[in-house]
Structure 1
Amino acid sequence: MTDIQLDRSGTDRVRSAAKLMLAWVALLWALEVVDVLTGHALDAYGVVPREPAELVDVVPSAFLHFGFGHVASNTIPLLVLGFLAALGGIRRFLAVALLIVVVDGVAVWLVSPSGTNTAGASGLVFGLFGYLVARGFVERKALDVVVGLLIAAVWGGSIVAGLSPSATGVSWQGHLFGLVAGVAAAFVFRVRGRESV
């Protein structure tokens, strides 16, 4: 009976994580459709640095993009990394995501060049990457260490490239602070496990 309950719990976790991330990504695409239909009116909700009124846009900016190509570039990594992170629990995932989005958005507001407008889910993507790579080491769980190393092997090159200040049209600041916030989230929301590395 215990085994059946554990199996159901695991299946429920997978379903919940999958539903959440599919809905999240669908929302990003729906918002971009609205943005296009309104002549890109939603672009105004990106973060413009060091203007106090722009701080209210820190969270909304993580859901908005500058075109369908921009959304598309974030879709697969957000689906995969978000799904893997959400397997650890939906509430925990939402707390991790909120921490990443807020820290990243405020940091972008503080240090990005004047006159820029930053939006997109890539800060969250970089944050989830950092969170998943660090989580196993922080919690001393062998399976999570292996998952983190696999993620680093698959996406590490893209992550390093996204941190380059020479990349044009990309907020390397948003990527960098998202990554840092994700690693910090692994410490803030750590759960001590029995399995040690």
Structure 2
Amino acid sequence: MSQHKASLSRAVHHAVAQFETRVLVLVLFVGSIWAVFIATAAFPELLLYRHGVVPRTLGGLQGILFAPWLHASVGHIAANTGGLVTLGWLCMWPRISNFVWATAAAMLGGGMCAWLFGAPNSLHLGASGLVFGYAAFLVARGLYTRNLLSVLVAGFVGFSYGLTMLLGVFPFDPGVSWQTHLGGALGGAVAARIGARRPS
């Protein structure tokens, strides 16, 4: 009996530690995006916006790394925060590495797509490519793994974000970077495919 209690205690301790780690990673990640936004607003002379994606320019390539941390307004960053928190949290199951891979793939896919296909002299900012990448990752993971929980999560994401995703990857609004959305979604789907082939 004591051995069973010890095993249960270790399992609970491990689960709590995993939960705390996920919370910490997500808070630090989203918090860093807000910190950059606040710094941008407080010190406009820093010209942080220039580090966004500028299509087909050598300097604009840096935006692939930096654009997700740059936002044009409070409304812009607030609109992305909900998706980053909700979908980012879901991406962390069952491994935090899923979140890391989905983030990297969405950044690369969204940034490259904006750089290759964006309008000349346009500037692409924001973390919406990550949001689309996370959503696509979760939906694709359900389709690839067919694990019951993954399928349920995919259904939730499809129901909650499906219309937004569908409208966001087409050039309906000239003020929206559909290229970033499309590339981020493709990156997330690819990350899910690769992840489905890795052993659990």
TM-score (norm 1): 0.91
Measure, in 1, the Cα distance between the counterparts of 2:53 and 2:113.
10
Show the counterpart of 1:179: 185
Aligned 1:62-81 pairs, distance under 5 A = 62-81=68-87
User: Residue in 2 aligned with 1:51?
Assistant: 57
Tell me whether 1:39 sits opposite 2:18 in the alignment.
no
Q: Match of 1:92, as an amino acid? A: N
- Report deviation, 1:120: 0.6
Question: Does the residue aligned with 2:44 lie in a helix, a strand or coil?
Answer: coil
Aligned positions of 1:96-111 closer than 5 A: 96-111=102-117
The answer as to whether partners of 2:37 and 2:69 remain within 8 angstroms in 1 is: no
Residue in 2 that maps onto 1:152: 158
Is residue 6 from structure 1 mapped to residue 11 from structure 2 by the alignment?
yes
**Other-structure match for 2:91:** 85
Residue 87 of structure 1 deviates from its aligned partner by 2.8
Q: Letter of the 1:115 partner, please give it.
A: N
Partners of 2:182 and 2:109 in 1: CA distance? 11
1:114 — aligned with what?
120
**Deviation by residue 1:126-165 (Cα, 9 ceiling, x = unmatched):** 0000001111221231111111111111111222222231
Q: Which amino acid aligns with 1:62?
A: P
Distance of 1:90 and 1:119 partners within structure 2:
26
Assess if the C-alpha contact under 8 Å between 1:103 and 1:181 holds in 2: yes
SS of match in other structure, 1:32: helix
**Root-mean-square deviation (Å):** 1.6
The TM-score with structure 2 as length reference comes to 0.89
Deviation at 1:192, TM superposition (A): 4.5
Give 5+ residue unaligned stretches, structure 1: none
